[in-house]
Amino acid sequence: MGVMRIGHISIKVMDLAAAVKHYENVIGMKTTHIDAQGNVYLKCWDEWDKFSLILTPSEQAGMHHVAYKVEHDADLDVLKKRIEQYGIKTSMLDEQALPFVGRMLTFNLPSGHEMRLYAKKEYVGTAVGALNPDPWPDDLRGAGAHWLDHCLLMCEMNPEKGINKVAENTTFMMEVLDFYLSEQVMVGPDQNIQAATWLFRSSTPHDIAFVAGPRQGLHHFAFFLDSWHDVLKAADIMAKNKVRIDVAPTRHGITRGETIYFFDPSGNRNETFAGLGYLAQPDRPVTTWGEEFLGRAIFYHTGELNAAFTEVYT
């Protein structure tokens, strides 16, 4: 029971047409619905539910909410009780409050980010179907991403004021939503301040991550690719489309992921992420990175953090 995986992310975009073009032609998603308010819903070819991304026209960039799918509808009642007992207010949105989605439990993480949980979303199937499927479909565009993989949220940290929303979120996710910690960055003179965490419910190294910053925000959301070669091809696609690349293909020490960071036309950071890293299991020892290894933890080859990694986000 409980949370299975990331289900969708709803983001704000300042130029809807440019955003749709980016997520279709560069990421390789397909538009599956446009609602009466003009919000656009898209999915990747290997996803079976109706959508994993919602683009909402706005005067600013950033995240509206992130949603995780739970296994059973009854889980929503159990988790509602647990979240409220923890001291966080929730509300239950009616079925169809979002098109094609069942009732949704909505609340704010200690960091202030809006999170939603749901059990039902319309099933449409992957692009290759479930009966005697081919390994991939013929009409892939762009990077041909398989699925929305995870998101990284920036959380306020101010040690002088005693604020550490990374640690608060991590405790909440583990104690209330039964997430497991795979990796963490510990900083400070005594290396006892939890400045970044990676957590999972599936069997991959992270379904969500939290990193400390001056204010809350969206650092990035990532799409899964199969191999290092697919990462290279994705970078080619970005160059062809003159996408602003933040970090060219490299590997993360944390999660071992093979990666590219880049920006959508509103400045929201995307990642294409390949490699399963390792089998994440509840009893796997937690990997800890010290402050002096932070550069290599984030960008394994150069070992150097670029300033934009922690300062540029929406």
Partner 1 sequence: MRLLQTGETYVCNSDESLLQGMAKIGKKGIPVGCLNGGCGVCKIVIRSGSVTKTGAMSRAHISEQEETQGVVLACRVAPSADVELEVIGHMKKMLMRSQCVEMP
Q: Is 183 a catalytic residue?
A: no
The verdict on 10 binding partner 1 (CB under 8 A) reads: no
Amino acid at position 126, single letter: T
The verdict on 268 binding partner 1 (CB under 8 A) reads: yes
Q: What angle is formed at CA 28 by the lines to CA 24 and CA 34, rounded to 5 degrees?
A: 40
The answer to whether the beta carbons of residues 7 and 53 sit under 8 Å apart is no
The verdict on 244 binding partner 1 (CB under 8 A) reads: yes
Element (H, E) at 307: helix 307-311
The verdict on 264 binding partner 1 (CB under 8 A) reads: yes
DSSP 286: P
Q: Of 36, 131, 279, 307, which one interacts with partner 1 (CB under 8 A)?
A: 307
Nearer residue to partner 1 within complex by CB, 12 or 50: 12
Catalytic residue, candidates 23, 118, 261, 313: 261
The verdict on 227 binding partner 1 (CB under 8 A) reads: no
Span near partner 1 by CB under 8 A; candidates 42-50, 56-64, 118-126, 199-207? 56-64
The verdict on 15 binding partner 1 (CB under 8 A) reads: yes
- Give the separation between CA 127 and CA 133, rounded to whole angstroms: 9
The answer to whether the beta carbons of residues 235 and 249 sit under 8 Å apart is yes
- Give the separation between CA 103 and CA 97, rounded to whole angstroms: 7
- Smallest distance, partner 1 to C-beta of residue 312, A: 4
Nearer residue to partner 1 within complex by CB, 137 or 295: 295
**CB neighbours of residue 159 within 10 Å:** 12
Tell me the sheet residues that pair with 54.
10, 41
Catalytic residue, candidates 219, 220, 258, 313: 220
Nearer residue to partner 1 within complex by CB, 74 or 308: 308
Nearer residue to partner 1 within complex by CB, 213 or 277: 213
Cite the beta strand spans of the chain per DSSP E. Answer: 3-13, 30-34, 40-43, 53-57, 62-70, 90-93, 104-108, 114-118, 147-158, 163-164, 180-187, 193-200, 208-213, 217-225, 245-251, 258-263, 269-274, 287-290
Q: Of 174, 193, 232, 312, which one interacts with partner 1 (CB under 8 A)?
A: 312
Q: Is 146 a catalytic residue?
A: no
The verdict on 65 binding partner 1 (CB under 8 A) reads: no
Q: Is 206 a catalytic residue?
A: yes
Residue 81, C-beta contacts closer than 8 angstroms, at least 6 positions apart: none
DSSP 74-139: HHHHHHHHHHHHHT--EEEEPTTSSTTB--EEEEE-TTS-EEEEES-B-B---TT-SSS--SS-S-
Q: Of 68, 200, 263, 273, which one interacts with partner 1 (CB under 8 A)?
A: 263
The verdict on 191 binding partner 1 (CB under 8 A) reads: no
Q: Of 60, 96, 158, 191, which one interacts with partner 1 (CB under 8 A)?
A: 60
- Smallest distance, partner 1 to C-beta of residue 90, A: 26
The verdict on 313 binding partner 1 (CB under 8 A) reads: yes
- Smallest distance, partner 1 to C-beta of residue 22, A: 10
Binding site for partner 1 (CB under 8 A): 14-15, 59-62, 244, 246, 263-269, 307-308, 311-314
* Active-site residue list: 150, 206, 220, 252, 261, 271
